[in-house]
Structures are given as structure tokens and as C-alpha cells.
Amino acid sequence: QVQLVESGGGLVQAGGSLRLSCVASGRTFSSYAMGWFRQAPGKEREFVAAISWGGSNTYYADSVKGRFTISRDNAKNTVYLQMNSLKPEDTAVYCCGAQPRNWPYTLRADNYDYWGQGTQVTVSS
């Protein structure tokens, strides 16, 4: 069983930055690939970024490539999402997920075994 808790969301102006964190319980964090997804009101959950078990491989949605960076610290059971140059269209609830298989399984939300409760990110214009 893995429990995930996100933090770091908030209100920021367009062009600003936020850093999201997702802390996992349990001692097997390094056995899970991690992903960040987001869901805006009235829209489906959308893939944002994913990272492999050891952190050597990362993947991004085209909409965030070059602006967002996913990373992980297995010693701290934490995955991060650094978000720069934020745009109003980045406004959403951001959730982290965990699952034991790497890419391309990390692309699809229905492949994930565990989810956090989400953190709200609001970008004002």
C-alpha cells in the first residue's frame, strides 16, 4: 500500500513559478514510476509528466515541455514538479500517481495503482 500526499499548489500570476511535492509512504517508493496529472473543471484528467523508478528517464506532455521539470528523491520518498512560466491554461488540480511499470504505462491514468488527493494550482492572467 502506498499513500501519496501532494503540496505546493496555490495562486500565482502568469509567468510565475510553483514547485509541487508529492510525498509517498512506505519503503518501496523506488519501485514505483511516478506521474503527475492534472484536471481542469469540465475536462478529463490529463497527463503532465512522468519519471522512471531511478529518475533517469523523464517524459512530458507537449503542452508543458520546456517549462515543467519532474524529479524525484528516493531517499525522501518524494517526487517534485517544478513549474515555470505558468500560463492561465495550466490552472487545474494536480495529482501525483504511482505504479510499478515504466513508460509507456506511465502515460495513461488508468494504469496507476495509487493517487494523491491533489493540490490546486491557479494561474491568473
26 — pLDDT class (breaks 50, 70, 90): confident
> Which pLDDT value is given to residue 6?
98
Q: How do residues 57-111 score in pLDDT, each as one tens digit?
A: 999 999 999 999 999 999 999 999 999 999 999 999 999 999 999 889 889 999 9
C-alpha cell at 99: 505504479
CA separation for the pair 105, 79 (Å, rounded): 18
For position 102, what pLDDT does the model report?
Answer: 87
CA pair distance 45, 38, nearest whole angstrom: 6
Per the document, the length of the chain is 125
Is a pLDDT exceeding 80 seen at residue 27?
no
